[in-house]
């Protein structure tokens, strides 16, 4: 891969990148050049492809970022990873602002160094914070993952849990949520207990089905290897040799959180996910998540990862919506 800088680059820069493997250019550019168009739209540059060479024109920092993004996408393809619209948007968001002398931010231009392998897919980080989070998932005993929806907090935790279950380093997956949503109470809902709680736990089921074949998920649930239950079902238990995930932890009370954290057993790992800005408790100031982080942050082997609106890996508009809602009221 050859990189060149136009000698007459002034207020606008013209950069050129030549890729060595022409067969990767199709997936790099995308159908009808949609990946190039996405980079142009997001960074305000003009990209022209001629054979194996790509020319980029735009403001110096924007052109350099576009080059960084293209190199990062190409290197991922060269390593055998697929790229899609979400990957393109994520790499754009992760890109820094290198100089025109060819300085490339390594964690964007290089293939990902951390990944999670499950039966159905290999998952790589789509933001810088996700990379830090995935490293913590593989290293620390207890992790608090804080931030808005769409940042991958629960999804990546489930992926790591599935990888460890498949690898045999844990015997069970325990996935839990408080059954508190938008002020509703279980007693007001129709059906038996399972029918009442399943809607609250559906995001956990969805993540599992994305990692494992359907028949494996159902078989492991039936055998008890995977347990999905409201937090109230955890009382009185000690969870050893398990990967334990608590989702929507901002909706726990301090007493519930203490009860849950003290279920931690030998050779286990625990991940607590929540959005401190989306509390549905009758008294939002009494969130068990806020209380626990304040008490436990800084203790060895307990990591706290904070995601922001820039880490949202859904549609780019979702990140802007989160920013709008978390900004100052108008």
Its domain, for residue 55, covers 2-109
- 62 shares a domain with 149: no
Mean pLDDT of 235-259: 92
From the list 150, 154, 203, the residue with the least C-alpha distance to 322 is 150
pTM (2 d.p.): 0.72
Give the pair of three-digit tokens for residue 14.
């013209």
Neighbours of 206 (CB within 10 A): 12
Are 148 and 263 contained in the same domain? yes
In a shared domain, residues 250 and 270? yes
Q: How confident is the model at residue 156 (pLDDT cuts 50, 70, 90)?
A: very high
The tens digit of pLDDT for each residue in 85-144 reads 878 887 887 776 444 444 444 456 565 677 888 888 778 887 888 889 999 999 999 999
Range of lowest pLDDT (113-117, 168-172, 226-230, 278-282): 113-117
List pLDDT tens digits, range 28-47.
Answer: 999 889 999 999 998 999 99
Q: Does residue 309 contact residue 129 with C-beta atoms inside 8 Å?
A: no
pLDDT for residue 5 is more than 70: no
Q: Which pLDDT value is given to residue 104? A: 43
Do residues 174 and 308 both lie within one domain?
A: yes
Task: Give the tens place of pLDDT for each residue, 206-237.
Answer: 889 989 999 999 999 999 999 988 888 888 88
* CB burial of residue 22 (10 Å; 0-12, 13-18, 19+): exposed
In this prediction, residues 232-260 reach a mean pLDDT of: 91
> Domain containing 209 — which CATH number?
3.40.50.300
Exposure string over 143-154, b if 16+ CB within 10 A, otherwise e: bbbbbbbbbbbb
The count of structural domains within the chain is 2
Does residue 91 sit in the same domain as residue 25?
Answer: yes
Q: Which of 76, 109, 142 is the last residue of a domain?
A: 109
């Amino acid at each position: 891969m050859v990189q060149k800088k136009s000698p007459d680059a002034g207020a606008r820069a013209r950069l050129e990148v030549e890729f060595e493997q022409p067969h990767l250019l199709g997936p790099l550019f995308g159908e009808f050049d949609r990946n190039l168009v996405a980079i142009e739209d997001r960074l305000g540059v003009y990209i022209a492809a001629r054979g194996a060479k790509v020319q980029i024109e735009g403001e110096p920092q924007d052109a350099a970022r576009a080059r960084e993004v293209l190199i990062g996408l190409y290197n991922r393809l060269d390593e055998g990873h697929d790229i899609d619209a979400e990957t393109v948007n994520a790499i754009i968001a992760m890109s820094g602002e290198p100089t025109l002398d060819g300085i490339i931010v390594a964690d964007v231009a290089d293939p990902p160094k951390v990944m999670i392998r499950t039966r159905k897919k290999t998952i790589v980080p789509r933001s810088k914070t996700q990379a830090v989070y995935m490293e913590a998932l593989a290293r620390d005993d207890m992790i608090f993952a804080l931030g808005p929806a769409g940042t991958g907090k629960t999804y990546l935790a489930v992926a790591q849990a599935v990888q460890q279950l498949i690898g045999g380093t844990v015997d069970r997956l325990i996935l839990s949520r408080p059954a508190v949503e938008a002020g509703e109470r279980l007693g007001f809902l129709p059906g038996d207990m399972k029918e009442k709680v399943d809607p609250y736990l559906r995001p956990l089921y969805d993540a599992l089905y994305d990692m494992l074949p359907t028949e494996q998920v159902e078989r492991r649930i039936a055998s008890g290897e995977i347990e999905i239950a409201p937090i109230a079902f955890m009382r009185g238990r000690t969870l050893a040799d398990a990967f334990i995930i608590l989702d929507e932890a901002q909706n726990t009370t301090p007493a519930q959180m203490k009860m849950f954290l003290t279920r931690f057993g030998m050779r286990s790992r625990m991940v607590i996910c929540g959005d401190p800005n989306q509390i549905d408790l009758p008294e939002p100031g009494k969130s068990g998540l806020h209380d626990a982080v304040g008490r436990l942050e800084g203790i060895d082997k307990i990591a706290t990862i904070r995601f922001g609106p820039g880490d949202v890996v859904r549609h780019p508009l979702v990140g802007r919506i989160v920013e709008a809602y978390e900004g100052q009221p108008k």
